[in-house]
Amino acid sequence: MNCQEVIKFRSVVKRVSRMVRSAAVLLVAAASLTAAVPGDAQASSGAAVPPKQPWSFLGVFGQFDQAALKRGAQVAVQSCLTCHSIKYIKFDQLRQLGFSELEVKAMAEGTGRTKKDPLTSSMDPTAAKESFGVVPPDLSLITKARKGYEDYVYGILVGYASDSDLALANRVMADGKIGAEEAKEVASALLLDGHYPDKMAETLKRMIGGENFNRYFPGNFFAMPQPLMDGAVAYTDGTENSKVQLARDVVTFLAWAAEPTQMERKSLGIKVILYLVVLTIMLYAVKRRIWAKVH
């Protein structure tokens, strides 16, 4: 490097360090602000945040588990479609998941439809409203339409009160009030806020009364009874059909249904970005060459 270059280099270093310093100040300011907020400032609704699940299809190189997709489609058609629609998917599209035309035809006819029909519920919306108080939402976009995305939908499917949860509720509420130790136990088992025993007692009463309790639903109670039980759907590929497995598979399917083009998007993305990186490196080289004359 000649003298001028050294001077220029130093001034660049100085400028960069100044920029880094001001960026650091901004970051610290932002971080101290977020640190001041206990959890999410919106967490007042009281529902627990569903834990993250290791979905194979997320991330830059993530791919769908094809077997899980097929099983999930089976769960969706045999279980979810009883009340919900998945109207942006047609039966015929399920062939993209590896079903044969005959299989698709059989699935469609099993619910009284043809393969050209969308996956709509056989339940009449008015009847649904009468029995549940709400029309069950369409599930086509459900994994994109809720905070927490796939993890939330999975959390809802497995977050209902189990028999042991109910036994706990009955035991705790036997004397009509909740002690400090009991509050802790209930809080950790049902993911409730242990600071408000009165509110907790109210929740347990409703739970014992047979309302649909769910750990992960904001407000804990909603119209949908537990949709998936152990063994609810008979798998043909030998996979264990536990509730948890059914939930995992159907969420995988719903994530596909929410955006069937997502794998095309990701594979195109790699090519586009690699191209841009090479192009940008070349542009930078040309830029340096042209600017070498300027002092």
Which residues bind to another protein, rule: CB under 8 A?
15, 22, 25-26, 29-30, 33, 36-38, 41-42, 45, 60, 88, 137, 140-141, 144-147, 149, 218, 259-261, 264-266, 268-270, 272-273, 276-277, 279-280, 283-284, 286-287, 290-291, 294
Task: Look up residue 62 and give its two tokens.
Answer: 């993530």
Smallest gap from Cβ 191 to another protein, in A, equals: 19
CA-nearest of 102, 52, 93 to 73 is 93
- 57 and 90 in contact (C-beta within 8 Å)? no
- 204 and 186 in contact (C-beta within 8 Å)? yes
Q: Which is nearer to another protein, 1 or 41 (CB)?
A: 41
- 231 and 85 in contact (C-beta within 8 Å)? no
d(CA 215, CA 285): 56
Which residues face 90 on adjacent strands? Answer: 118
Smallest gap from Cβ 47 to another protein, in A, equals: 11
Smallest gap from Cβ 188 to another protein, in A, equals: 21
Q: Which is nearer to another protein, 156 or 172 (CB)?
A: 156
Q: Which is nearer to another protein, 110 or 260 (CB)?
A: 260
Q: Which is nearer to another protein, 93 or 241 (CB)?
A: 93
Give kind and range of the element (H or E) at residue 189. Answer: helix 180-190
Smallest gap from Cβ 30 to another protein, in A, equals: 6
Residue type, 11: S
Smallest gap from Cβ 54 to another protein, in A, equals: 18
Burial class (CB in 10 A: 0-12, 13-18, 19+), 227: buried
Q: Which is nearer to another protein, 75 or 257 (CB)?
A: 257
Task: Look up residue 36 and give its two tokens.
Answer: 């001041």
Q: How far is CA 108 from CA 113, 137, 231, in A?
A: 5, 21, 22
Q: Which is nearer to another protein, 195 or 210 (CB)?
A: 195
